[in-house]
Amino acid sequence: METEQLYEAYQPLLFSLAYRILGSVMDAEDIVQDVFISLNNIEDPQSIENMKAYLCKMATNRSIDKLRSAAHKRNVYVGMWLPEPLVDESDEPSKSFIMKESLSTAYLLLLQQLSEVERIVFILREVFSYEYEEIASIVDKSSVNCRKIFQRARKSMLEKPKQSKLSTEKMASYVEKFVASLQCGDAEGMLEVLKTDAILKADGGGKVTTAINPIYSADRIIRLFFGIAQRLTEEYTVDFKMVNGIPGVIVTINNKVTYVLSFAFEDEKISNIYMMVNPEKLMHLNVKI
């Protein structure tokens, strides 16, 4: 296969893998581009026996390098760290597989608690259903060792978010009611779709003033959003899109994406809200406007 054909075949997989490892859209895109540039420079790519494993290994190695180079930045990060929001604007069926429950913000945050190798082994096995022999060839460990690593990682992920029983349409209706009630100043309407013990986490990265600690309880979350709404004096638009595989909200001010909200649901109500306001983590969305 030519490099262009290989790109079409494997780009969604490699991006999805790198994004889950890193939690960064821009870094994942850069890694995928670098993988195919390197592949194009190989004199005899036809000699590669297992192209998928070869490309995945290149992507994972580059992802690990990126994690290690960014370790200090993460250690001194101001406030809460959230993954860059992945907004689904694609109608291409070939790319639909990357928008799954395992891409939810809550799930990605749990993945960040695993070590580099644990994360990669867990993602390859749990998300992509790779055999241990395949994983072993990617991470340069024995299949027996990979099995042990996976079991250890799975124990760490026991408290992973339960997949909501709500349909996508029902989730979307709750998100839309939350926003409509906010715009009307209807606190009761917001309370109808929020769990009493809901939690909000915001990521401003020290670039934008926002809560640096989690906000607990529906009442406090509502007060925070009313305060934000009162400051929206400039022209703004609200769009409802799939964010990390779940109905979310994009707020654009003066043609610039400024807020992205993603959600988690439990007991048929909104249990968690993740608010991204760090402009550096929204750059990939503003480039596309």
Distance, CA of 223 to CA of 231 (rounded, Å): 13
* Alpha-carbon span 267 to 288, nearest angstrom: 36
Confidence of residue 232 (pLDDT cuts 50, 70, 90): confident
Taking Cα atoms as reference points, which of 28, 26, 30 lies closest to residue 38?
30
Whole-angstrom distance, CA of residue 141 vs CA of residue 133: 9
**What mean pLDDT, rounded, does the chain reach?**
90
Contact partners, residue 274, CB within 8 Å, separation at least 6 = 82, 105, 106, 200, 201, 202, 203, 261, 262, 263, 264
Structure confidence by residue, pLDDT tens digits, 10-27: 999 999 999 999 999 999
Beta bridge partners of 263: 273
pTM to 2 decimal places: 0.90
Q: Domains along the chain? A: 3-156 (1.20.140.160), 168-287 (3.10.450.50)
Is residue 1 very low, low, confident or very high in pLDDT (cuts 50, 70, 90)?
Answer: low
Q: Is the pLDDT of residue 209 over 80?
A: yes
Mean local confidence (pLDDT), 200-217? 94
Single out the residue of 265, 270, 261 nearest to residue 195, CA to CA. 270
Dihedral, CA atoms, 218, 224, 225, 231, nearest 10 degrees?
170
Q: What residue type is assigned to position 51 of the chain? A: M
Residues 107-133: what's their mean pLDDT?
Answer: 92
DSSP 181-221: HHHHT-HHHHHHHEEEEEEEEEE-TTTS---SS-EESHHHH
Instruction: List, for residues 96-109, the tens digit of each pLDDT value.
Output: 545 566 789 999 99
What are the residues whose beta carbons fall under 8 Å from the beta carbon of 37, sequence distance 6 or more?
none
pLDDT above 70 (res 36)? yes
Residue 114 CB neighbour total at 10 angstroms:
20
Listed range (95-104, 161-170, 260-269) with the worst mean pLDDT: 95-104
Residue 245 has pLDDT above 80, yes or no: yes
Res. 93: pLDDT tops 50: no
Cα-atom radius of gyration of the chain, to the nearest Å? 20
